Amino acid sequence: EVADDRELLDIASRAAWLSGLLPDARSLAGRGIECARRAGDLEAESAALRLICRLDHDVSDAIATAESTTALAALVERLDEGREQGTAVAVLAEMCMLVDDPDGANAWADRAVAPGHRRCGGAGGATAGGVALQRRPRGVTATLSEGCFGYRRSALALAMMVPFKASITSGCTRKT
């Protein structure tokens, strides 16, 4: 049994998920959300809700998946721009992909990579600490890099699920 410690609840829920104990993982993540809400910690609430979205999908509960995804989408609007928001938006893109909604997946993916794109200069295909996109006739190229906003993890998740060609770089570069 885990105490009402947000960090321990997060670790325990992920361990239960990875061990295939989905009902336990769901219960622990739910407790994590309650604990985060009591503390007013939006990032911890988002982290727990991200896991719940995936757990709901993994147990094939379409109604719960839609509800948790909708709740995460609403929470994203209250998060500050940064790593957690980028990760949450990437999970929303993933959830759309998992329910065969490519338009939703692309819309959320675009939103996930936009902060990294803005950070290093806009339309030229800049890369920094997250991702910048270059539109090409046959798809999208995502370039991932370390630093800046910390969107690398989110972008990498996106690169695995939508038709992206991904390359990992270091530093902040600008493509012309």
Find the range with the poorest average confidence among 5-14, 45-54, 134-143: 134-143
Over the stretch 71-130, which tens digit does the pLDDT of each residue have? 999 999 999 988 899 899 999 999 999 999 999 999 999 888 877 666 665 544 433 334
pTM of the model: 0.68
Which of these, 99, 168, 92, lies nearest to 129 by C-alpha position?
A: 168
Mean pLDDT of the chain: 75
